[in-house]
Every structure is written in structure tokens, then in C-alpha cells.
């Protein structure tokens, strides 16, 4: 029985399945957590950039209000009332450093210096409105934002302190640096190189009111840092879930499955397949038939031989549908090529004692034989002795019906069971199969040879055909041929092979 080995291998596959499910949960957790983390980081960054944009816009609004308040003085001589108005705007706003009146490229009136000519170039101003610079006169190196309001050929230039903006941007940035970008100029909140749109993770948020942008770059390191700070507990939860789910899968897949359930499931999945072994004539050693042997093509254990599962199938009353399955497969394979089969070619199927009490066997045999009506074949049923057959009237009627169809009954492994001779007495038998345990001892054990001779003599007296199983060398074959054994079967003539391979070899030799 393979079920002890099957149990060990099932444990292995249960463990592998549980590990794979656990790894899938972890992978799913990593993907979902990282996606959520990345989305949250981008959303948080966008909110901070929006706040920063509003901050800068508010500062520039102060400059704009100051410019609007003094625009009526534009073009007037820089006298004390005009200077007073300019200085008042500086006093009203803590962001404004100076308010200046300009004609063309010359500032002619300033809240700081009064009537003072200063040459200035507006060519580098973004949209002619904004410019970032460092103070070179009062507090050298102090960051300044220049706002310019153009009115005709003249303009009002408002210089704003940049320290406050940079300080606020630094607070908003926390661990992610933000930059104020005006044209190609940038103010950084930390000692990092200027951001470029070609950088991976580049983000920018432009103002719709003034020509500036808030820009930043989210690097992989930023994602990893954010992931660890805010999502590591979520990841730990996914790991815990993976362990729980994996353990659940391991327990669920380990529910006890009976051998009978395994067989029924294999039957539903059509895992039982026919293997063919040729039978040759004892006279000329040409193929005259074949024995169909059942194999279990298990998805994990591979091909399982019949002695490992047939006894269980017989005890579970599954041998009948399994035999039906084999007959159907053989019929479908060979009926389309029936004209290539030799005359009276026979197909031999193994049956158990219980099947000789089931009249469905008669119908299965009738369907099989009628399918080959274009070139009739012989059907042989080999009765195995794993089960004790108690003969009664029903058994005799069933065997009689089989004989009417032309079915031949063979006693398999004759001489090794407990009831072989009784079967010969109870119902009509057509063939005796000499067990390979006797054949293998030809030329080795004289007792086995005497048993073979007696079986052959018995078959001759009862007018029965004989088939010698397990013929593996020419010595055995010569001995059996000399005693007129009807048919020979064994590795000398061919091992059991899959049905498709047998069909190819057979038709290639025709």
C-alpha cells in the first residue's frame, strides 16, 4: 500500500503549501502596505506643498497690497510726502523690507534711501514680476524676494524678507526638503542640490497667481524611511496574519483523508490508466494479444503499480468502475484502427471475484465486443484470487452469459491461490495462466518444473489454453514451447508500457 508514503509526502506538500500561502500573504502585505505608504507620503507631501504655496502667496500678497497702496505716487517727485507713504507700507507689513518707485531701469525713490538713483535690470525677472536674490547692501547674504508691479513704462519694486519664508518652509518640510522655485532660481530648505524635473520622484506645485513653484523630490530613501516610521507595525501585523493563515492552511489541508477517499477522487479525475503487456504465440512468438494492467497515475507519487491499490479498491467496491474506465479507454484507442488488428487479437482484463456477481460486467463486455464488430477481437477476463469467489447460481448464470458473448475466462496466477482447482470444478474456464513464480525457476528448481508440467497436463486433459507469465529468457521460452504452452508473456517479449506507446509500437510493426 502506498498510503504510508503518501501520508509522509502529504505532510511535505502541506508544509510547502502553508509556506507558499504565508509568503503570498507577506508579499501581498508588502505590496499593499508600500502602496498605501507611498500614497500617504505623496498626499502628505502635496498638503505640505500646498501649505508652502499659500505661505508664499500670502507674503507676495503683502507686497502687492503695498504696491497698490503707493501706485498713485508713481511718477511723482521723490519728496517727503511720497517717501512717507513708502515708509508707511514698510511699517504696516513685517514681510516688506523696502518699497521702491522705478522709471524704466532706474529706481528713483526708495523707502530706505529716499531720493536715490539706482540702476536695476529687470531682464532676469520671471514674467517681469519675481526675482530671488541675496542682499548686498544692508545685510549681506540675507535672502530677498523682489516683487515688481508694472504700470505702463514705470514699476513699483517691493523687496521682501526671505528669512521668514525659508524658516516656515523648513518647518513644513520636516524630513522632506522643499524648495521655492522662481524661474531657474531655487531656495532650498536644507543643504541639498537644486531639484531638477529629470530627477526620479520629482514633484512640483505651481501657483496660479504668481510665477513661482514649490518643488521637492521624494527619493527611495524617503519612501523607506517613511515606511519604517509609519508602517512597520502594519507590516508586523501582515507577518502575523501570514503565520496564522499559513498555520490554518496547514491544519485544513491535513484533515484526515481516507484511502477510500483518495481512490474515489482518483476515479473522478480519471487517474487510473491502462498499461499494455504483449502476449505472443507459443508457436511463432508473434503478438496475438495483450494484457491490460491498471496503473494509478498519481499527481505527486507518479505511477503506482496495481498491487499497491487494487486490494483496497476491491474492498471498497470500486474495482468495477475502475475496470469500466479501462475498457472505455482501450475501446476509444483501438476502435478507430480496428482494421489493423490481427485476426482474433485478444484484450485481457483482470477482474476480481466480486465482479463475477455483478451483471453490469456482462453489459460492459457486450459494449466492448460490439465496438470491434468490423474486425472481431477476443475479450479475455482474468480472474484474480485476491478475493475468495463463492460460486452460486448467479455466478454460473453470469459466466454463461459471458460465454454466449464469446468472452473467455482465465484463472490468473494459477496454482498460487486457495481456490484454483475449485474454480475449475464450479464453472467453465477457458485459460490457465501459469504464475511467474514457477516460470522463473525453470532450470533452477526441479519442484517448480514439476508443477508447471502438471499444470500443462491438467490443461491438456481439460482442453484449456495455457499462458505462461514472467518469461524473461530464452531458456524459459524454449522449455515452455517444447511443452506446447499456448501463449507466452513476460519481459522477454515486452514490459508493460502505456497504452499510447503500445499502440505506436504495434502499428509500426504491422
Locate 430 and state its grid cell. Answer: 477457458
Give the CATH number of domain 277-509.
3.20.20.450
SS3 assignment for 379-390: EEEEECCCCCCC
Residue 476's SS3 state is helix
Residues 6 or more apart from 236 whose CB is under 8 A from it? Answer: none
Q: What pLDDT is stored for residue 301 in this prediction?
A: 77
Is residue 246 over pLDDT 80? no
Nearest to 274 by CA among 213, 235, 327: 327
Is residue 510 over pLDDT 70? no
- Pick from 43-52, 76-85, 241-250, 450-459: least confident: 241-250
**Cα distance between residue 158 and residue 71, in whole Å:** 12
Q: What are the tens digits of pLDDT across the range 175-228?
A: 778 888 998 888 877 666 778 778 888 889 999 999 999 998 887 777 777 777
Do 214 and 178 meet the contact criterion of CB atoms below 8 Å apart? yes
Do 485 and 433 meet the contact criterion of CB atoms below 8 Å apart? no
Is residue 279 over pLDDT 50? yes
Is residue 138 over pLDDT 90? no
Q: What are the tens digits of pLDDT across the range 477-489?
A: 999 999 999 999 9
Q: What pLDDT is stored for residue 395 in this prediction?
A: 84
Q: What percent of the chain has pLDDT over 90?
A: 38
Cα 45 to chain centroid distance, Å, stands at 37
Q: What pLDDT is stored for residue 206 in this prediction?
A: 93
Q: What pLDDT is stored for residue 22 in this prediction?
A: 78
- Pick from 79-88, 180-189, 282-291, 324-333: least confident: 180-189
With cut-offs at 50, 70 and 90, classify the pLDDT of residue 258: low
Mean pLDDT score, 284-307:
88
Q: What are the tens digits of pLDDT across the range 308-359?
A: 888 888 888 888 999 999 999 999 999 988 888 888 899 999 998 888 888 8
Q: What are the tens digits of pLDDT across the range 96-125?
A: 989 999 998 899 999 988 888 888 888 889
With cut-offs at 50, 70 and 90, classify the pLDDT of residue 93: confident
Q: What end-to-end distance do the CA atoms of the chain give, in Å?
A: 39
- The pairing of beta strand 408-414 with beta strand 497-498: unpaired
Is residue 247 over pLDDT 80? no
**Cα distance between residue 60 and residue 209, in whole Å:** 10
Greater pLDDT, 506 or 89 = 89
Alpha helices in 219-318 (DSSP H): 220-253, 259-268, 310-315
Q: What pLDDT is stored for residue 1 in this prediction?
A: 41
Nearest to 403 by CA among 418, 381, 434, 424: 381
Q: What pLDDT is stored for residue 121 in this prediction?
A: 86
Is residue 90 over pLDDT 80? yes
* Average pLDDT of every residue of the chain: 85
Do 62 and 93 meet the contact criterion of CB atoms below 8 Å apart? yes
Cα-based torsion angle of the residue sequence 302, 303, 307, 313 in order, rounded to the nearest 10 degrees: 80
Q: What pLDDT is stored for residue 234 in this prediction?
A: 76
Instruction: Please write down the long-range contacts of 38-43, taking CB distance under 8 Å and 24 or more positions apart.
Output: 38/223, 40/226, 40/230, 41/218, 41/222, 41/223, 41/226, 42/203, 42/218
Strand partners, 276: 292, 497
- Pick from 10-14, 326-330, 443-447, 467-471: least confident: 10-14
Do 162 and 144 meet the contact criterion of CB atoms below 8 Å apart? yes
Do 217 and 202 meet the contact criterion of CB atoms below 8 Å apart? yes
Q: What pLDDT is stored for residue 9 in this prediction?
A: 59
Q: What are the tens digits of pLDDT across the range 157-190?
A: 999 988 888 888 887 777 778 888 998 888 877 6
With cut-offs at 50, 70 and 90, classify the pLDDT of residue 466: very high
* Cα Rg of the chain, angstroms: 49
What are the C-alpha distances in Å from 265 to residues 14, 41, 258, 506? 18, 52, 11, 33
Domain with CATH 3.30.450.20 in the chain: 3-220
Greater pLDDT, 281 or 219 = 281
CB environment 396-414: b (16+ within 10 A), e (fewer) = eebbebbeeeebbbbbbbb
Domain with CATH 3.20.20.450 in the chain: 277-509
Nearest to 465 by CA among 456, 473, 474: 456
Q: What pLDDT is stored for residue 7 in this prediction?
A: 56
**Cα distance between residue 175 and residue 48, in whole Å:** 11
Q: What are the tens digits of pLDDT across the range 369-416?
A: 999 998 999 999 998 866 667 677 888 889 999 999 999 999 888 877
Instruction: Report the topology of domain 3-220.
Output: Beta-Lactamase (3.30.450)
**Cα distance between residue 212 and residue 127, in whole Å:** 10
Instruction: Please write down the long-range contacts of 450-458, taking CB distance under 8 Å and 24 or more positions apart.
Output: 451/415, 452/480, 452/483, 453/483, 455/414, 455/415, 456/483, 456/484, 456/485, 458/432
Amino acid at each position: 500500500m502506498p498510503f504510508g508514503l503518501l501520508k509522509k509526502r502529504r505532510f511535505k506538500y502541506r508544509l510547502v503549501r502553508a509556506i507558499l500561502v504565508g509568503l503570498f500573504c507577506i508579499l501581498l502585505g508588502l505590496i499593499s502596505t508600500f502602496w498605501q505608504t507611498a500614497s500617504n507620503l505623496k498626499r502628505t507631501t502635496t498638503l505640505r506643498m500646498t501649505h508652502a504655496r499659500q505661505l508664499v502667496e500670502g507674503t507676495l500678497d503683502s507686497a502687492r497690497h503695498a504696491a497698490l497702496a503707493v501706485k498713485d505716487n508713481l511718477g511723482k517727485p521723490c519728496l517727503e510726502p511720497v517717501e512717507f507713504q513708502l515708509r508707511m507700507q514698510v511699517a504696516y507689513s513685517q514681510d516688506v523690507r523696502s518699497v521702491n518707485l522705478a522709471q524704466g531701469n532706474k529706481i528713483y525713490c526708495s523707502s530706505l534711501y529716499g531720493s536715490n538713483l539706482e540702476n536695476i535690470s529687470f531682464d532676469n525677472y520671471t514674467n517681469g514680476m519675481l526675482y530671488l536674490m541675496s542682499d548686498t547692501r544692508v545685510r549681506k547674504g540675507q535672502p530677498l524676494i523682489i516683487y515688481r508691479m508694472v504700470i505702463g513704462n514705470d514699476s513699483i519694486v517691493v523687496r521682501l524678507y526671505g528669512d521668514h519664508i525659508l524658516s516656515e518652509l523648513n518647518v513644513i518640510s520636516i524630513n522632506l526638503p522643499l524648495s521655492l522655485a522662481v524661474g531657474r532660481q531655487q531656495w532650498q530648505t536644507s543643504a541639498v542640490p537644486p531639484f531638477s524635473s529629470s530627477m526620479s520622484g520629482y514633484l512640483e506645485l505651481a501657483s496660479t497667481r504668481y510665477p513661482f513653484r514649490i518643488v521637492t523630490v521624494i527619493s527611495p530613501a524617503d519612501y523607506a524611511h517613511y515606511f519604517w516610521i509609519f508602517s512597520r507595525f502594519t507590516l508586523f501585523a501582515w507577518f502575523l496574519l501570514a503565520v496564522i493563515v499559513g498555520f490554518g492552511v496547514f491544519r485544513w489541508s491535513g484533515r484526515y483523508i481516507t484511502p477510500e477517499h483518495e481512490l474515489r477522487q482518483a476515479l473522478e479525475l480519471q487517474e487510473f490508466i491502462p498499461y499494455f503487456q504483449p502476449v505472443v504465440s507459443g508457436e511463432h512468438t508473434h503478438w496475438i494479444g495483450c494484457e491490460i494492467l491498471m496503473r494509478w497515475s498519481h499527481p505527486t507519487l507518479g505511477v503506482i503499480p496495481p498491487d499497491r491499490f487494487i486490494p483496497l479498491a476491491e474492498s471498497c467496491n470500486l474495482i468495477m468502475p475502475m475496470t469500466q474506465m479501462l475498457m472505455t479507454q482501450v475501446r476509444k484507442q483501438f476502435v478507430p484502427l480496428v482494421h489493423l488488428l490481427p485476426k482474433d487479437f485478444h484484450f485481457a482484463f483482470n477482474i476480481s471475484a466480486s465482479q463475477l456477481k455483478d451483471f453490469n460486467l456482462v453489459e460492459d463486455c457486450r459494449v466492448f465486443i460490439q465496438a470491434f464488430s468490423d474486425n472481431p477481437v477476443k475479450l479475455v477476463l482474468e480472474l484474480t484470487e485476491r478475493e475468495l469467489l463463492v460460486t452460486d447460481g448467479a455466478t454460473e448464470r453470469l459466466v454463461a452469459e459471458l460465454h454466449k458473448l464469446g468472452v473467455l475466462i482465465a484463472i490468473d496466477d494459477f496454482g498460487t491461490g486457495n481456490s484454483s482447482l475449485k474454480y475449475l470444478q464450479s464453472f467453465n474456464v477457458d485459460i490457465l495462466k501459469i504464475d511467474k513464480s514457477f516460470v522463473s525457476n525453470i532450470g533452477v528448481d526441479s519442484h517448480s518444473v514439476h508443477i508447471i508440467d502438471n499444470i500443462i497436463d491438467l490443461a491438456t486433459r481439460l482442453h484449456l489454453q495455457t499462458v505462461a507469465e514472467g518469461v524473461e529468457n530464452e531458456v524459459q521460452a524454449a522449455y515452455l514451447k517444447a511443452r506446447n504452452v499456448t501463449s507466452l508473456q513476460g519481459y522477454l517479449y515486452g514490459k508493460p508500457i502505456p497504452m499510447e506507446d503500445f499502440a505506436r509500437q504495434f502499428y509500426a510493426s504491422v
